[in-house]
Amino acid sequence: GESVGLHLPTLSVQEGDNSIINCAYSNSASDYFIWYKQESGKGPQFIIDIRSNMDKRQGQRVTVLLNKTVKHLSLQIAATQPGDSAVYFCAENGGSNYKLTFGKGTLLTVNP
């Protein structure tokens, strides 16, 4: 079936390095993608989104890249800080107007 998945379940980086978190999706109908950050014991926090008519979008210290050819999404975090340590989820809409499908998440650990 259609699914959203992540290549790496855990990622450990040094403070100040750049982080890249990857996500593969298989539903070709998806035209909207979101990255969320979830800290322990809290709800997911919206980071950035991208529509399928774009291949790159930048926010504050974050960049999302979308490669529709290979159905791949990535989140780049520049100058990673200890406060960035969390689980990061990607989500895609599968062409739906109401529903999101979530990946299982990648745990990012930032070492001081």
Partner 1 sequence: DGGITQSPKYLFRKEGQNVTLSCEQNLNHDAMYWYRQDPGQGLRLIYYSQIVNDFQKGDIAEGYSVSREKKESFPLTVTSAQKNPTAFYLCASRRWGDSNQPQHFGDGTRLSIL
The residues of the shown chain that bind partner 1, judged by CB under 8 A, are 4, 31-32, 34, 36, 41-46, 49, 51, 89, 93, 96-105
Residue 101 beta carbon to partner 1: minimum distance, rounded to whole angstroms: 7
Buried b (16+ CB within 10 A) or exposed e, 42-60: eebeebbebebeeeeeeee
Q: Report the residue number, 31 or 78, with the smaller CB distance to partner 1.
A: 31
DSSP-derived 3-state class of residue 53:
coil
Determine how β-strand 101-102 pairs with β-strand 86-92: antiparallel
Residue 112 beta carbon to partner 1: minimum distance, rounded to whole angstroms: 26
Residue 97 beta carbon to partner 1: minimum distance, rounded to whole angstroms: 4
Residue 50 beta carbon to partner 1: minimum distance, rounded to whole angstroms: 10
Distance of CA 38 to the CA centre of its chain: 11
Cα separation, 104 vs 43, in Å, equals: 14
Count Cβ atoms within 10 A of the Cβ of residue 71 and give its class: 0-12 exposed, 13-18 middle, 19 or more buried.
middle
Q: Report the residue number, 16 or 59, with the smaller CB distance to partner 1.
A: 59
Q: Report the residue number, 21 or 103, with the smaller CB distance to partner 1.
A: 103
Q: Report the residue number, 5 or 16, with the smaller CB distance to partner 1.
A: 5
